[in-house]
Chain A
Amino acid sequence: MVWIPFISSNKPEFKNNREARKQCWESRDIYFNCLNKIDVISPLDPKNKEIIKKNCHKQEIDFEDNCAKSWISYFKEKRVTDYRNDLIQKQMQQDEQNQNLLQGK
């Protein structure tokens, strides 16, 4: 018997087509929504592990089942960078408004 790594893992192989991608993205959105509710930004941060498992365990499993392995960590990382970019954008807008207010006076 030959041990084949990707068959031995119990996770089914991700079929990369439009249908599968849609399913993956949808379960990702559900999972991230759940994280929003418990104010968790980074799902990769070990200190958030407990609270995620407590509140969004089902959503996390769904998300990880529906997406390709490499995509899971990609989306989790992307959530953090997207959040940071959002924050920077908001900060910049705030600064601009303040500047305008000062110049208006």
Chain B
Amino acid sequence: MDLSTTNFIGDLVREYSPYSWVASIVNGVIAIVAIMAVGVGPSPMLIWWERKVAAFTQARLGPMRVGPWGLLQTVCDVIKLLFKELITPHGADKLLFFLAPALPLTGSFLVLAVIPWDHNLQVANPGMGVPFIIAVSSLGILGTLLAGWSSNNKFSLLGALRCGAQMISYEVSLSLIMLFVVLMSGSADVREIVLSQQGNVTDWWIIKAPFLGIAAFVMYMISATAELNRGPFDMSEAEQELTAGFHTEYSSTAFAMFFLAEYINMVATSALASVFFLGGFLPFAFPDFGFAPIVGVVASINGALAILPGFFWMAGKILFLITLFMFFRWTYPRPRVDQLMSLEWKFLLPANLILLGLGAVFIAFGLILP
């Protein structure tokens, strides 16, 4: 039986129902609920984690009052946020104003849908997974642009325009890095990319493609930070310059949706980084380098590590990458908007093109690690 096509619930429904559309609907609903759970569920925890990471960086404690170690602080914050008044600014374009917060969320949910969480845990696996991801992640830009445009506020507009320019620019280098991984693994299918890294740590693309992998990973992290609009590249919000950028006028649930989208986006981006470079749901395994005395020991350790299901490995890698993003945010000052653009067009883009070319050369001459 080919595990990749297993659809346990779908088969179960098909067995009892004469109509095929029933299975489709049941599958669809389960998929939507699952994506929402994966996306929305960890967000409060991530917000708490971000505050703790920030506190750690800044030599303080962070939230400590509500619940043990302040764990319930986010819950209180969310409740407070939801009960606030939803304000529409004077002169705002109402339809666009309330449509805008929904778009970034939609985009990030769609990305989550094609991410393989485990061997058999993936909502959809289109053969063209990587182009699909590139396509749907652009929805976020539309949301921010609309938000800035419809708010009838100059700060919002400035933030949105910055954001649009920044995200479109950095999408170019993100796409090129994804293409690099596609080139390496020989498939645009997200699951295939993960499976191409089977083996031990040295088979992950970050190491398997000598030097290129680590360079690509570093550039991916830089571009992703810019794409996520997170500090230090949070030009579109830039509290000290634009008060709150594109979401200056948003309050209550509308603001909560932007806030949520940021964290879900972070999960999605980290999940992609883990899929592309860190072996996705594959367990961590030590290499033995064919060195006879340790082969047995390494094999048993790896066997023990592999007991944990792939979902945990995926979640662990995502959490690691998210923490990395958080450390970026709380360590570095923010460059100016034109400096950020020249970083992309004058450095990252040429570097990525060279990377792609070198990748092709490496493959042609068989320089990829076995």
| Bound pair (A, B) | no
Could you tell me which A residues sit within 8 Å of B by CB distance? none
